[in-house]
Chain A
Amino acid sequence: MSALLTVEDLRITFPTRQGPSEVVRGVSFTLGRERLGIVGESGSGKSQTGRALLGLTPPPGTATAKRLEFDGIDLRSASPKQWRALRGGRMSMVMQDPKFSLNPVMTIGRQIMEALAFHGRSSRAEKKARAMAMLEAVQIRDPERVFRAYPHELSGGMGQRAMIAMMLVTEPDLLIADEPTSALDVTVQIEVLRILDALVTDRGMGLIFISHDLRLVASFCDRVLVMYAGRVVEELKASELDRAQHPYTQGLMNCLPKIDNDTRPLPTMTRDASWAL
């Protein structure tokens, strides 16, 4: 499998009053046209890793890497113009919180069409048709209404689906999905996963799927990175998750409640300070 994305020794640092704080500390991985899951607890650096891949580390934070290549393009030296062509066009990201990630004074339709406006030429009617098709694809029942709606008029789950539609409408080669299904109920969650899955298998899209949910990641992805305190502590095939070596991953596995044998009291995880070293 040819590598779509190569990341080597990615580090992200934020200056703080106590001196620089490194929130991502040497992450390396490669991604083909496959589904890569990233799991890890809150604050372990999953979202910041995803943003750095798009060159969107929020200032005053800085990201450095030994290698950061997307389809043969060295992202570290990409010009603003190159970035604009890549973002939205070839790489995209479904953001974690639809409530804040949609512009409150712009209709959903305009925001989706805007994604198309800067990548290739198409007429307004074509853009609208593609936006509507995309809204239908993410299982929105009343796409005409949602197209004209403002973000505050949608429920959390509808907002999340509108966001997914907005980020997928340009048919990118790489999609970073930051907890794309957390706000959705189970049936819709499955639909959304099916859409993402189809994009990977049919169109050869590369997918980075960020989640808290180890069970979901294990069943949906091909490979899993486990992050802890800014590091990748383990990289596994999804099918081999039960062979995990690292105590944090094992702990996560043991925390999954099992349906068949009723565990009481519920297991708790004890974190070892040495894991964060």
Chain B
Amino acid sequence: MSGATKTGGRSRALPFAWKAVKLLASVALTFLGLLFVTFLIGRVVPVDPVLSVVGDRASQAVYDRVYIELGLDKPLIQQFWIYLQKVFTGDFGDSFMTKRPILDDIMRVFPATLELATFGVILGTILGVPLGVLAAVKQGRLADQVVRVVGLIGYSAPIFWLGLLGLLIFYAKLGWVAGPGRIDISYEYDITPATGLLLIDSAMQGKWAAFGNIFSHIILPASLLGYFSMAYISRMTRSFMLNELAQEYVIAARVKGVPEWRIIWVHALRNAAVPLVTVIALSYAGLLEGSVLTETVFAWPGLGQYLTNSLQNADMNAVLGGTLVIGVVFVGLNLLSDLLYTLLDPRVRRRG
């Protein structure tokens, strides 16, 4: 050990580095497990990977050659190793349906899902947190009941029903928003794809007419997702806030003469934010992976729709690739919420 590490900084830096290592190791392990599961699924399902390459009219000789090319004659563990190597070079195989590399397909559809879910969770958070706080502060009173009923509808109404109703009212009847799809065809070629998030791409390229069109397409499905996430976030915020407002430090703040708004929004909410981060991350993950129905109703060309199509056509490479992406997103969000948690809670931050 060198002399430099024996300075005062060591006691703080070392636990943090150790924590980072532990976190990375756990992410790597989770990821490996995920790969193994998707690999196994690929072997177990009754879809012949050779047939999907050669087609069902190929001769036995061609079939056997491809069988060996794909490494299917090798032991399972070796096959997994080959699979790992391919995945790490970004090779998920080609899609049976589109004949394109899976990675290209996913890069094309995933931003659509990401954009929609992000918009949704932002709406859900900026509405859900204040509503939850309001419900907690006015516990048992009218405002609380209203928030509860609105949330309950969000919990129990089927998403496709609300989606169709929304389209019927705001698109067909009132004409306030654009219909299904991400963008009108007339604008589609105005934008050079960069991030794949159309709102951002169009804004960066200064294509404001296209931006407006994209916005009027996304606002309805995003509001719908936002509504669901708001229902969940407001309910959790309410219960976290009720818990915090009953703590002694709230009384201590009142003893100091701190105004009530500050006690609610600074003292209590700051404490409630610690568990809330996890709730919001969960809600976000839920929107990212669970948007299949929304994407179907709104003809949204996202990952959910891609996966549904692939599944219906037994396009296993595509299904496995998509599953992996969802897994990565989930692990990534967990990591992010862990980091935020550490940032928000000094008790975790300095324990190391």
Contact = CB atoms under 8 A, between A and B. Distances in A.
Interface stretch (B53-61, B266-274, B310-318, B323-331): B266-274
A95 B347 CA distance: 22
A118 interface: yes
Given A105-B270, A105-B345, A150-B347, A92 B249 contact: no
Contacts of A95: 248, 251-252, 255
A131 B257 CA distance: 17
Interface in A84-115: 84-89, 92-93, 95, 97, 100-106, 114-115
Given A58-B251, A97-B248, A104 B347 contact: yes
A54 B274 CA distance: 31
A63 to B, nearest CB: 14
B346 A150 contact: yes
Nearest to A93: B255
Contacts of A85: 257
A84 B259 contact: yes
A88 B256 contact: yes
Contacts of A76: none
Given A101-B249, A102-B249, A87 B255 contact: yes
B249 A103 contact: yes
Interface of A: 51, 54, 56, 58, 80, 83-89, 92-93, 95, 97, 100-106, 114-115, 118-119, 150, 152-153, 163, 166-167, 170
Given A101-B252, A105-B345, A114-B253, 7 more contacts: A56-B254, A85-B257, A100-B249, A104-B347, A105-B344, A114-B256, A167-B256
B31 to A, nearest CB: 32
6 contacts: A54-B254, A97-B248, A103-B253, A114-B253, A115-B257, A167-B256
B247 interface: yes
A98 B173 CA distance: 61
B20 to A, nearest CB: 22
Contacts of A56: 251, 254-255
B271 A105 contact: yes
Q: In the complex, which of the residues B255, B259, B274, B344 has the most CB atoms of chain A within 10 Å of its own CB atom?
A: B255
Q: In the complex, which of the residues A101, A105, A150, A167 has the most CB atoms of chain B within 10 Å of its own CB atom?
A: A105
B236 to A, nearest CB: 18
